[in-house]
Structure 1
Amino acid sequence: MAAAPRPSVRIPVSTYRLQFNSRFTFKDSRAIVDYLHALGISDCYASSYLKAVPGSPHGYDVADPTRLNPDLGTPDDYWAWIGELNAHAMGHVLDLVPNHMGIAKSANPWWLDVLENGPSSRFARFFDIEWHPVKDELADKVLIPILGDQYGAVLERQELQLAYRDGAFVVRCLDDVLPIAPDTYGEVLGLELDAWLAHQARAAGDRDAEELQSIITAAEHLPPRSSRDPDDIAIRAREKEVVKRRLNALVERSADVRALIDSTVRRFNGVAGQPRSFDPLDRLLNEQSYRLAHWRVASEEINYRRFFDVNQLAALRMEDPAVFEEVHRFVFELVQRGAATGLRVDHVDGLYAPGDYLERLQARAAGLLHSDAQRPLFIVVEKILGAGEQLPPEWPVHGTTGYEFAAVVNNVFVDHRNERALDDIYMRFVRERRERLSFDDLAYRCKKLILHETMSGDINSLGHQLNRFSERNRHFRDFTLYSLISTIKEIIACFPVYRTYVTPDQPVSSHDRRYIGEAVAAAKRRAPRVTSVVFDFVERLLLKQTAITSTDECDARASFIGKFQQMTGPVAAKGLEDTALYVYNRLLSLNEVGADPTRFGLSPGDVHAWMADRQRRWPLALSATSTHDTKRGEDVRARLNVISEIPGAWKAAVTRWRSVNRRHTTDVRGAQAPDRNEEYLLYQTLIGAWPFDGDVVALRERLRAFMMKSLREAKVHTSWLSPDEEYEQAVFRFIDAILDRRQPNRFMQAFLPFQARIAELGIYNSLAQLLIKITAPGVPDFYQGTELWDLTFVDPDNRRPVDYETRRRMLAELTVCTQTEAATRLLEHRTDGRVKMFATARALGVRAAMRDVFEQGAYVPLQTAGARRDCLFAFARRGAGATAITCVPRLIASLVPDGSGPPIGPAVWSETRIELPDANGTSVFTDVFTGATIDTQQVAGVTTLPAAAVFERFPIALLTGDS
């Protein structure tokens, strides 16, 4: 009897992101399930826990997707965690990494098979490898850029060592152990074979000698590594293992054969100081299906697609159905068994055909879950949306992971009226002309830098692919290779979004047509020396408007478009997120993944419109404010937003700090370290991340690590490719000097009072954005540990262990207090973070109790009136028979100018009120934080709620009422 279709999809009420690694295991996660349940979390949202490269701190370098990561515990540990979730009726969203695999430390068996067997590996189709690249020497080979120096120097320093292991020969290089192709075993063993055979003949060792010769013959007759024939691939896969088993058995029983191999290996590994002694190993390595190279070679000659520019992450060809099935086999088992009740798809834009992939994912889920739902499995995608961009509505997902939500909510607390003032302050501090501070120009320059420095090999490969296509048509064949590559670079550098989604079988959408047109038009303006006709050709090609005369030509066009679309995202990510956002330091709270740093605040009306649209389109997308990818913690941003309200005070402060600290800068080859832009970054960072307990020692070490990453990502004075340690050390000395509290410190004397004011106001921004997250359209998502104050930096700082014992104790203490006592007492001790935990638990409880209202109910913008109306943001969620109203303060600096206390009470709010256009029959509301009841009032015929009553004892309010 067939299983009955499941009636519904499990949708989380809230999610809590757990970062698994060796310091936080399956046992650790099981131990906190009851705590998360008590906090109000419905679903654990876990980083990938499939087998990763050993020691991985994040899990995004999956090396074997068919099993659990042993660094995290045993399968029994895993299922015990899942059992604990089930016991608390909690779900689990798994982070799925379909775009790439980790290949470092020889931990990936599929990749090693490719290195051993080349194109004839059954896993060759899994990876996006160009087997016939521009460089002839790489034909049927994979570039392996893992060496720390030039190949010849590394070889002759004996850092490449041949070794024998269990019937196979390998070459060791630091953390990597690379296979030697079995068909070249004869070259290894042949070095001393004749002499050994002569000795064996004298010693009457014929049987072992014959077996060894037979093994060599079998190895040499394996199907060639260049063959793509399925039968050859199957024969080679089978017979090479037979060769290894026979050799292993022979070595185990024959001391003479073992001695031959030991002697041969020693000969291959050469003699220090005798360069010619390394010739045999050099010849052997040149016969392999890989080419070892210095890591710097990758930027120009890499011939496998990577995750961005990370050599240790090899991209997968997920468009191949066989690859899809093998990579997801274990994940599908977890879905079928109910262990994973949802999926987060990492870097969906890296896939060749994201829409097709997501369709296949949901189709497989439907079969596994016996569901007839259109979207049977809760799936969200990591997708960065550009200005005005929408998630493709045809994708069978529930939304994004919420980067755009974080950006919109953050802008609620940025005062747009002071944008010009902050521009002027920044411009004067860093001493740059206004036109040099254009973010659009900076983004273009940074993308061009990435295209030149770290991804030129990828672009050259794409250019040659375009060149081959142009040669097919007499109208295009005169375009030179250089002009085609230059055109591609310019268009990618000007691309307004991360990528388009043009497919071979569907018409080009209007928005994709617009994005391509905008990119080409901008590229023409920025590169007038490139002939316009080449731009027109590429534009027509991307829009599928070129004439096609054969199936091969159609396939070639589709292939180029697909590869082009896979390239624009990585360039945008590396150019914008990982370069420009570390250079453009006007207001750091705006420099976030998925945010536009030029969007300086949003009006309440704009935010309401965005929220209402989200409720219509993607009501179940995640609502995030901190993630493992954010550049700084949510409460750091909340503090920094205060700067937008007080430009005059900020200007006076940074000017004084600069004057006081000038003596601590260092001249490094004519440049001041830190430069003025870096100093501006540092002061904002200190304002945002200064700990409530004032522990400078811990902060100093974290700050050093953050600044080193920031400097290298900015690529101005130092970089990951070309680190300038002298410059970096000068910046570290500056940090140490300005934080030195062993003696009177004029900077600290000026900084601490100002920072204390910002931190106080930041608390209320933090609580306000928290409540919006929990009650706005979408599924509220919490990054680990952020139920208390989150003053973290970018990763790896935000992956530090979380103290759950302290959090568990705090939550337990909250449950024994009455609402009024808790709200009042926690506000008095607000710096310890318990007030944030209290607000989280109370609001999540209401969201769970009124689930239908928050998931399906209307989003109703509420207008404000009175003297402080601009300092108030409010909306209602309304469902059948119930209403919930969210009220939060914004632009708080004007409410409490001295920053000495919370924005509560009549003295702050006066006659300010929230207007209820339709109270839905409700005249009395209850505040879930204080338990207070608040009566509506009629003012000029309009039903209102007085802000002074709403915020009488607590700075945020969630009001509930029944009709």
Structure 2
Amino acid sequence: MTVPRSTLRLQFHRGFTFDDAARRVEYFAALGISHLYASPVTTAEPGSQHGYDTVDYTQVSAECGGEAGLQRLVEKLRAHGMGLIVDIVPNHMGVGGSSNAWWLDILEWGRHSPYARHFDVDWHSPDPALRGKVLLPTLGAQYGDELAAGRIALRFAADSGRFLIGYGPHVFPVCPVDYPAILQSADRADLSALAARFQGLTTQPADQPRAAEARDALREFVAREGESALEFVLETYAPEDPVTRDRLHRLLEKQHFRLAWWRTASDEVNWRRFFDISTLAAVRVERPEVFEAVHALIFRLYRDGLVDGLRIDHIDGLAEPREYTQRLRQRLTELRETTPYVVVEKILGRGEALRDDWPVDGTTGYDFMNDVGALLHDPAGAEPLARTWSELTGRSPRFADEALDARRKILAENLTAELDRAARALHRIARDSLTTRDFTYPTLRRVLTELVVHFPVYRMYPQSAVRSAADNVYFDVALAGARATLPRSDHAALERVNAWLGGSAEEPPPARTGAPAGAGSSGATGAAQAQPQGPNAGPPSHVNSARRNAQALFSQLSAPLAAKAIEDTACYRYGRLLSRNEVGADPGEFALSVEQFHAGNQERAQRFPHALLATATHDHKRGEDVRARLAVLSEIADEWSATLRAWSTLNAPQRRALDGTPVNSVSQDKSDAWAPGPAAEAMLYQTLVGCWPPQLRPDDDAGVKELAERVAQWQLKALREAKLHTSWLAPDEAYEAGCREFLFDILAPQRRDGFLKELAAFVERIGRAGALNSLQQTVLRLTSPGIPDLYQGTELWDFSLVDPDNRRPVDFAQREAWLAPTQTPPSEFLADWRDGRVKLAMIQRVLALRTHLPELLSQGAYLPLAVRGKHAASVIAFARRHGNAWAVVVASRLAARLLGVDEASGDAAAPGTQADLPLVDPARWEDTAVEMPADLSARALFDWLSPAAPKVDDGLLYLRDALTVMPVAVLVEDGVPRS
């Protein structure tokens, strides 16, 4: 296996193609990257900016440069000794446009399409209007209104010979079985002759080739006679006239799809989506033929040596992740002799381990991002910040409360159809047994609701329809929550559902309720006599299959529920400190101790030493340096609380009424009866503090306006994701406009001597501590066990917000121009830290060390080092050892007080002076020292990041010697080349 030394993630789209990346390969190589890590390269919806809406798994994206462009990129990489890892999306495809041939085919032929089983469609919907059909929640208004308005029409595609239903840019193919009636409506002999070619067709696969031949004849006819030959045909289905409109409606009713208002999706969609996105349809990759079709291109690219490894998107969406990864590893190994490098996108809860029976190299790094982010926070700030948040907003100080409310809301409003489908699977199991057939559908739905809203992680992974001990750790939490909230009359059903969802391979005995026979919800207890008994009497195979189906549906409900409720709802409602509201993190977990961070690194070193280590991704909600700066607020919680109140008072005149109109004054109570409201306003101030560029001045009107536009984009998304005053489903445009006007008012040029001045001054005060946090975070990512991953552009300061802000074009030319000779230590750039070049130099320098001593940081043992002295709590240190080679990593942390951030502010320090640097004055460390390994006591060490060569004194490395010119150090033995 070719294990990367380091990866760099690139987002490909038509604005940044394979050839654009190829032109930067020299820069990536000089930076020290061993593998590019590409967003999906398969064909996506036209204009896609991310590639996750694949419409053709078999072709490399032409917009990104096609296969020829990909080959040119790989050739350039190979010339520099580099490789390529690609992101693949086996869980879902884009179906929001008219480019997905598989999807269009099932709309045309229904259950008899060769692709009908490629998608997770429920062809046996309990709704008679949907049986054998696919719900298409595409319409902008109710079906009848759109039909009457003439926005739904019959069209003919001359290039393919197909009749289509058109709606705006969307087209939906009409089944050829209905072509005779369409063509005969014109009462013309030539068209009747063409209609005869379609007579007698059925949707059976055997008839589909004949339909294709008949369509060819129709296409040739139109090419010869002109499209006007079908004008009268189309007019007989024109939506403008009531008679022809009724004929169009009756034609629509015969199709294998049902056009519907987009709002019906949450309640009625009869196919599995990606989360609640109705333009992304889930794929049944667990089926062997679908697995092969989905991976055909990737397997060929891997076989031919263009691809060296894979990143698996949304592994938790798959029915059987374990079987999938095992099959994938086997197929890749068959194609090439080398073992493939494979990582999976997996959100892990605290204490949740990536499964050992998944043959992968680890995760994509959200777990590390969570660990290192929590490490930056002072636990002493948790309680006062939570109290301030609750007092200002009237909302709960506990994230768990917001999470539970959000789970219930998402389940009730966004994932109702998915909940119903899983509940029906349980109801079918119940009906299959005499002892449980009286468990009603509503009862089982209530039970299922409480289980999923209390489920603490993304999902479970049963084997042979039975949960493992690892699964039960989390399922038991859900069971306890469900028991506490369900009425006692539902507890018997809960125990049965527990068994069906993998709690036991056997049927549990019927619950004893004490009620007379026939009175309890569990049915007659005597019915149990008819069931097989004994320790070996497991359920029959069809029951086992039904359970596996129910378990898969439960998991494919709990995972999107967790994502939508936590990441996309609660994280936008809870604002104790936004630096902890990140993908893969639990905002309820405020801080992580040094010991806990070490424990996580040690476990990673033992179990998944080649997992990716990320601090920024294409999905992050705030850039890594935004989070690092906001973490400083945990160290000055009381001051920040006072600042929040002061700014709220200062900006009160700029607030708007809920309808967006100006108000002169608003009471300072906990009411949300103004825009943006106390919670949204408090989170806005955090966002401005976090993303304010280090070199932006309050009198730079153009720069402030540019920032305001970026923040406004974030604000709109944040407000809609919170789903309190407005949402994507029901936007309140007046409220949103009021929020935007508030933002632009408080950042207006006339505030340059008021709020803008205060904001800039506050950012300046905490900026050094934020930069120190950033450098700490960066060095830990580069030296911890695992493979450091760099997100495009984050070599310099990353003050981006949630997408699309974090996917803006990257100025690689500037970064390339700023690369220093490898022998130049990063400390040379600390004086000008605001431009971010010190971060770039540090990344380049440590990656050079990984190249020079590859085994040391990729395979070396991880040894936590103890710290003693007055400021031991403000240091983290560890050693990496491989054979006789050592590296010692030392970093400042929680250093705001040592930097003097908490001291009374005066005039700003002169740039480049000690007081202006993100560096603790060496004398302030006093007796603080790292206890060094005995093997290093007699060895000379030098800092890979600065000219420092600190000495070990009686087994101690004093911080006043180790961190003289940089806030972090990577110490290696003297004599190691620097270039």
TM-score by length of structure 2 reads 0.91
**What are the ranges of 5 or more consecutive residues in structure 1 without an aligned counterpart?**
1-8, 198-208, 225-231
Question: What SS class does the counterpart of residue 651 from structure 2 fall into?
Answer: helix
Matched residue, 2:202? 223
Matched, 1:102 2:94: yes
Shift of 1:545: 3.8
Matched residue, 2:513? none
* Structure 2: distance between partners of 1:310 and 1:614: 34
Matched residue, 1:498? 458
Shift of 1:922: 4.7
Q: Deviations over 1:229-285 (max 9, x none)?
A: xxx42x233222111112122333346xx55422111221233xx333301111111
Whether contact under 8 Å (1:881, 1:962) holds in the other structure is: no
Equivalent AA in structure 1 for residue 248 of structure 2: L
Matched residue, 1:265? 234
Matched residue, 2:592? 602
Whether contact under 8 Å (1:161, 1:173) holds in the other structure is: yes
Matched residue, 2:827? 823
Taking structure 1 as reference, are residues 262 and 807 closer, same or farther at Cα in structure 2, changes over 3 Å only?
same
* Structure 1: distance between partners of 2:589 and 2:605: 22
Q: Which of 935, 940, 951 in structure 2 is aligned with 1:924?
A: 940
Aligned counterparts, 1:447-526, within 5 A: 447-504=407-464, 507-526=466-485
Equivalent AA in structure 2 for residue 616 of structure 1: Q
Question: Once the two structures are aligned, what percentage of the paired residues are identical?
Answer: 39
Question: What SS class does the counterpart of residue 464 from structure 1 fall into?
Answer: helix
* Structure 2: distance between partners of 1:284 and 1:297: 21
Q: Which of 277, 283, 286 in structure 2 is aligned with 1:319?
A: 286
* Structure 2: distance between partners of 1:707 and 1:475: 53
Q: Deviations over 1:561-607 (max 9, x none)?
A: 11111111001100111000111110111111111111121221111
* Structure 2: distance between partners of 1:72 and 1:917: 51
Q: Which of 320, 324, 327 in structure 2 is aligned with 1:360?
A: 327
Question: What SS class does the counterpart of residue 781 from structure 1 fall into?
Answer: strand
* Structure 2: distance between partners of 1:114 and 1:191: 26
Equivalent AA in structure 2 for residue 815 of structure 1: P
Taking structure 1 as reference, are residues 633 and 701 closer, same or farther at Cα in structure 2, changes over 3 Å only?
same
Matched, 1:892 2:895: yes
Aligned counterparts, 1:341-490, within 5 A: 341-371=308-338, 376-432=339-395, 436-490=396-450
* Structure 2: distance between partners of 1:936 and 1:63: 60
Matched residue, 1:728? 736
Q: Deviations over 1:524-568 (max 9, x none)?
A: 212336621111111111124443553322211211111111111
Matched residue, 1:334? 301
Q: Which of 263, 267, 270 in structure 2 is aligned with 1:296?
A: 263
* Structure 2: distance between partners of 1:861 and 1:91: 32
* Structure 1: distance between partners of 2:177 and 2:425: 32
Q: Which of 831, 849, 852 in structure 1 is aligned with 2:855?
A: 852
Equivalent AA in structure 2 for residue 526 of structure 1: T
Q: Deviations over 1:149-178 (max 9, x none)?
A: 111111121111211123211121112111
* Structure 2: distance between partners of 1:864 and 1:656: 39
Question: What SS class does the counterpart of residue 792 from structure 1 fall into?
Answer: coil
* Structure 2: distance between partners of 1:842 and 1:709: 38
Which deviates more, 915-924 or 862-871?
Answer: 915-924
Which deviates more, 778-787 or 149-158?
Answer: 149-158
Whether contact under 8 Å (2:44, 2:56) holds in the other structure is: yes
Matched residue, 1:566? 556
* Structure 2: distance between partners of 1:655 and 1:709: 25
Equivalent AA in structure 1 for residue 199 of structure 2: E
Matched residue, 1:677? 679
Taking structure 1 as reference, are residues 743 and 614 closer, same or farther at Cα in structure 2, changes over 3 Å only?
closer
* Structure 1: distance between partners of 2:678 and 2:95: 40
Question: What SS class does the counterpart of residue 420 from structure 2 fall into?
Answer: helix
Taking structure 1 as reference, are residues 132 and 922 closer, same or farther at Cα in structure 2, changes over 3 Å only?
farther
Matched residue, 1:770? 778
Matched, 1:646 2:636: yes
Whether contact under 8 Å (1:886, 1:957) holds in the other structure is: yes
Matched residue, 2:845? 842
Whether contact under 8 Å (2:152, 2:239) holds in the other structure is: no
Taking structure 1 as reference, are residues 776 and 744 closer, same or farther at Cα in structure 2, changes over 3 Å only?
closer
Whether contact under 8 Å (1:524, 1:530) holds in the other structure is: no
Matched residue, 1:869? 872
Aligned counterparts, 1:676-695, within 5 A: 676-694=678-696, 695=703
Q: Which of 735, 738, 745 in structure 1 is aligned with 2:746?
A: 738
Taking structure 1 as reference, are residues 352 and 880 closer, same or farther at Cα in structure 2, changes over 3 Å only?
same
Aligned counterparts, 1:936-955, within 5 A: 936-938=952-954, 943-955=955-967
Shift of 1:905: 4.3
* Structure 2: distance between partners of 1:949 and 1:530: 69
Equivalent AA in structure 1 for residue 882 of structure 2: G
Equivalent AA in structure 2 for residue 445 of structure 1: D
Count of residue pairs brought into register by the alignment: 911
Equivalent AA in structure 2 for residue 484 of structure 1: L
**What are the ranges of 5 or more consecutive residues in structure 2 without an aligned counterpart?**
508-537, 660-671, 697-702, 902-914
Equivalent AA in structure 1 for residue 51 of structure 2: G
* Structure 2: distance between partners of 1:192 and 1:544: 64
Shift of 1:370: 2.6
Aligned counterparts, 1:270-289, within 5 A: 270-271=239-240, 274-289=241-256
Which deviates more, 900-909 or 577-586?
Answer: 900-909
* Structure 2: distance between partners of 1:333 and 1:741: 57
* Structure 1: distance between partners of 2:745 and 2:231: 58
* Structure 1: distance between partners of 2:229 and 2:740: 55
Q: Which of 700, 704, 707 in structure 1 is aligned with 2:708?
A: 700
* Structure 2: distance between partners of 1:767 and 1:550: 59
Q: Deviations over 1:1-59 (max 9, x none)?
A: xxxxxxxx010000000001111111111111110110011100010021000011110
* Structure 2: distance between partners of 1:114 and 1:918: 69
Whether contact under 8 Å (2:751, 2:757) holds in the other structure is: no
Question: What SS class does the counterpart of residue 110 from structure 1 fall into?
Answer: helix
* Structure 2: distance between partners of 1:370 and 1:760: 50
Matched, 1:579 2:569: yes
Taking structure 1 as reference, are residues 549 and 926 closer, same or farther at Cα in structure 2, changes over 3 Å only?
closer
Question: What SS class does the counterpart of residue 819 from structure 1 fall into?
Answer: coil
Equivalent AA in structure 1 for residue 306 of structure 2: A
Matched residue, 2:719? 711
Q: Deviations over 1:763-790 (max 9, x none)?
A: 1100111000000011000100000000
Which deviates more, 617-626 or 928-937?
Answer: 928-937
Shift of 1:870: 0.9
Q: Deviations over 1:391-445 (max 9, x none)?
A: 001110000001010111112211112222222222222234xxx3322222111
Whether contact under 8 Å (2:153, 2:239) holds in the other structure is: no
* Structure 1: distance between partners of 2:789 and 2:19: 23
Equivalent AA in structure 2 for residue 418 of structure 1: G
Q: Which of 52, 60, 84 in structure 2 is aligned with 1:68?
A: 60
* Structure 2: distance between partners of 1:146 and 1:534: 38
* Structure 1: distance between partners of 2:371 and 2:224: 71
Question: What SS class does the counterpart of residue 71 from structure 1 fall into?
Answer: coil
Whether contact under 8 Å (1:922, 1:962) holds in the other structure is: no
* Structure 2: distance between partners of 1:687 and 1:175: 42
TM-score by length of structure 1 reads 0.93
* Structure 1: distance between partners of 2:574 and 2:561: 18
Shift of 1:459: 1.0
Taking structure 1 as reference, are residues 920 and 760 closer, same or farther at Cα in structure 2, changes over 3 Å only?
closer
Equivalent AA in structure 2 for residue 401 of structure 1: T
* Structure 1: distance between partners of 2:374 and 2:222: 69
Whether contact under 8 Å (1:134, 1:461) holds in the other structure is: no
